Amino acid sequence: QLQLQESGPGLVKPSETLSLSCTVSGYSITTRTFHWGWIRQPPGKGLEYIGGLYYSGSTYYSPSLKSRLSMSLDASENQFSLRLSSVTAADTAVYYCICSTFRSGNGVDVWGQGTTVTVSS
Amino acid sequence: QSELTQPPSVSGAPGQRVTIPCTGSSSNIGAGYDVHWYQQLPGTAPKLLIYDNNNRPSGVPDRFSASKSGTSASLAITGLQAEDEADYYCQSYESSLSGHVVFGGGTRLTVL
């Protein structure tokens, strides 16, 4: 069974870079048909798709975050990661790593439990 | 401001039927993109409830159903139960953003 677990600092200073990792268990991250990604949820607000990638290297970044965003895969650690630079308080959110396995159409069928990131000095 | 519009809240008594609309436009739902629905119970990660407009993943009760027509979609819950109290989100794709994923703002369902 595919499971995801986020990790990373819970507190980031304004203007610094937010870095999160997602450890994958139950499947190899090299599974070419799976879409790995990130979704965030600011406190008391709705969901925002940040971006995603395939093992092939194809990436899909939110147009509003693209200039500050990078994502990568690490097959040796069976992880994928997110880096968001020049953060502000508006980046405070619960960050979920996600996977679309396409066993349930194009929906996001696997979610991590989420990790809270606060941007504050 | 979301490209997909949902009412902030809906409510219903146990056993009743409720619907949650998701209104889009010709650049998302109306462009033929699929709609998915997620349920987020308090304090937990969202869960896929409906995929590709009207399909239920294994384990989702048939009390949950959804439809899509034109530029809108709708989630229906029949036989409302206390454990259905949650936030519900629709999701589709936006052609003006190169097919990027977009979510509705979410609807809080209260079971009276």
Name the percent of chain B lying above pLDDT 90: 92
pLDDT of B93 over the 90 cut: yes
Measured between beta carbons, the chain B residues lying within 8 angstroms of A46 are 2, 89, 103-106
What is the β-pairing status of strands A59-61 and A48-53?
antiparallel
- Residue B104, chain A, CB below 8 Å: the answer is yes
* Range in A28-37, B80-89, B103-112 the model is least confident about: A28-37
Q: How far is CA B30 from CA A27, B22, B70, in A?
A: 35, 12, 5
pLDDT of B99 over the 90 cut: no
Measured between beta carbons, the chain A residues lying within 8 angstroms of B103 are 46-49
pLDDT of B112 over the 80 cut: yes
Stretch B25-44: mean pLDDT: 96
Check: CB of residue B106 under 8 Å from CB of residue B88.
Answer: yes
Stretch B3-17: mean pLDDT: 97
The tens digit of pLDDT for each residue in B39-55 reads 999 999 999 999 999 99
Q: How many CB atoms lie within 10 A of CB B97?
A: 15
- Residue B27, chain A, CB below 8 Å: the answer is no
pLDDT of B4 over the 90 cut: yes
Dist CA A13 CA A18 (whole Å):
9
pLDDT of B1 over the 80 cut: no
Cα distance from N-terminal residue to C-terminal residue, chain B: 29
Q: Which residue has the tokens 């936030």?
A: B87
pLDDT of B36 over the 80 cut: yes
Please report the pLDDT score of residue A24 as a whole number.
97
Q: Give the distance from residue A70's alpha carbon to the nearest chain B alpha carbon, in angstroms.
A: 16
Q: Which residue has the tokens 């690490």?
A: A74
Dist CA B41 CA B31 (whole Å):
30
Q: How many CB atoms lie within 10 A of CB A94?
A: 18
Measured between beta carbons, the chain A residues lying within 8 angstroms of B102 are 49
The tens digit of pLDDT for each residue in A66-92 reads 999 999 999 999 999 999 999 999 999
Please name which of A16, A7, A61, A56 lies closest in space to residue A34, comparing C-alpha atoms. Answer: A56
Please name which of A35, A100, A62 lies closest in space to residue B97, comparing C-alpha atoms. Answer: A62
Dihedrals phi, psi of A82, to nearest 5 degrees: -130, 135
Instruction: Check the CA dihedral A109-A112-B108-B80 and report its sign.
Output: positive
Q: Confidence band (pLDDT; 50, 70, 90) for B2?
A: confident
User: Is A49 within 8 Å of B100 when comparing Cβ atoms?
Assistant: yes
DSSP string computed for A62-114:
-TTTGGGEEEEEETTTTEEEEEE-S--GGG-EEEEEEEE-SEEEES--EE---
Q: Confidence band (pLDDT; 50, 70, 90) for A8?
A: very high
Dist CA A73 CA A70 (whole Å):
11
Check: CB of residue B29 under 8 Å from CB of residue B73.
Answer: yes
Beta bridge partners of A115: A95
